[in-house]
Amino acid sequence: MGSSRGIGRAIVIKLHQDGYKVVVTYCYDEAAGKKVFKEINEEGLLIKLHGGEESSIKEAVKKVDDKYGHLDVLVVSGMHDRPHGFKETSYEDWKFVLNSKLDSSFLVPKYFYPLLKKSESPQIILNTSSVDDKPQIGALAYSVASAGVTNLMKAMAIELAPEGFRVNAVCPGTTRTDNWIGFGLEDDEMWEGFAKSNPMRRVPTPEDIAEAVSYLVSEKAKYINGLFLYVDGGNRHRG
Ligand SMILES: NC(=O)c1ccc[n+]([C@@H]2O[C@H](COP(=O)([O-])OP(=O)(O)OC[C@H]3O[C@@H](n4cnc5c(N)ncnc54)[C@H](OP(=O)(O)O)[C@@H]3O)[C@@H](O)[C@H]2O)c1
């Protein structure tokens, strides 16, 4: 989910290269979805999916069921943020961000569960963030949603493992994607600053995150369940 842009786009392209039949999903921007679909030679499926709306998810489940009859890997990687501090965050912003990030992380796996259950090795990957255990100043609702996704992933990993599921999370560091439109996407100086302060002297690329997902869903990770895989260059350890 959320593969028309940014990190989700890189993940869907990587999984396609790995040999998966993939489903590209967009939420608002059909043209962006079509562009990614073209990049994978229109193999697979292109669908609209709003992860916070039950009716939209049910429609998506039906389309995937009609085409494939099962689902091996579900990646939840889509949201739009409204990064504001406590005083600036309106209740509308709060609801929008929690719906976009937290509700979707619950609802999409919930409704795709029957199709995943038909797989021999079902897997769920939640794309959360590296602000899961401490808040990002100026992004209140996002920090709260990320903390929620953290416990959601742990609970799903424990509950579903006896059924053969693996549930894991990737936690990207600050990544230059459209998520930053309106909040410094074009500000090269800001991005140079992020890179300089990172122990690895660069920020992650969407492709770095996609490589981590490719590993997590591979046979190499077959005993890995309930892991938060940080792809942040070690940045979270800075004092
Ligand atoms: N970029 C970062 O710095 C960063 C860091 C840590 C974690 N993350 C996490 O990575 C994930 C992806 O972010 P990104 O940077 O790739 O953002 P992005 O480039 O803005 O892409 C967001 C994607 O999510 C889709 N989307 C938005 N709202 C949705 C919804 N309600 N239901 C389903 N899909 C929805 C968008 O579809 P449309 O194209 O149709 O709008 C788009 O495909 C997010 O969960 C974010 O929290 C990002």
Domain range list for the chain = 6-237
Q: Per-residue pLDDT averaged across 174-197, rounded? A: 95
User: Is the predicted pLDDT of residue 133 greater than 80, yes or no?
Assistant: no
pTM of the predicted model, to two decimals?
Answer: 0.97
CB of 82 within 6 A of ligand 1: the answer is: no
CB of 174 within 6 A of ligand 1: the answer is: yes
Longest dimension (CA), the chain: 51
User: Is the predicted pLDDT of residue 22 greater than 70, yes or no?
Assistant: yes
CB of 204 within 6 A of ligand 1: the answer is: no
CB of 79 within 6 A of ligand 1: the answer is: yes
Which atom number of ligand 1 is nearest to the Cα of residue 81? 47
Ligand 1, from 1, 3, 7, 101: best to mutate by most atoms within 8 Å of Cβ?
Answer: 7
User: Is the predicted pLDDT of residue 216 greater than 70, yes or no?
Assistant: yes
User: Is the predicted pLDDT of residue 239 greater than 70, yes or no?
Assistant: no
Which atom number of ligand 1 is nearest to the Cα of residue 49? 33
- pLDDT, residue 224, reads 98
Which CATH architecture describes the domain 6-237?
A: 3-Layer(aba) Sandwich (3.40)
CB of 16 within 6 A of ligand 1: the answer is: no
What residue owns the CA closest to ligand 1's atom 24?
Answer: 78
CB of 122 within 6 A of ligand 1: the answer is: no
Confidence of residue 134 (pLDDT cuts 50, 70, 90): confident
Q: Give backbone dihedrals phi and psi of 80, rounded to 5 degrees, phi first.
A: -125, 140
Confidence of residue 130 (pLDDT cuts 50, 70, 90): confident
Cα(168)–Cα(199) distance, integer angstroms? 25
Helix (H, G, I), strand (E, B) or coil at 80: coil
Q: Give backbone dihedrals phi and psi of 73, rounded to 5 degrees, phi first.
A: -135, 130
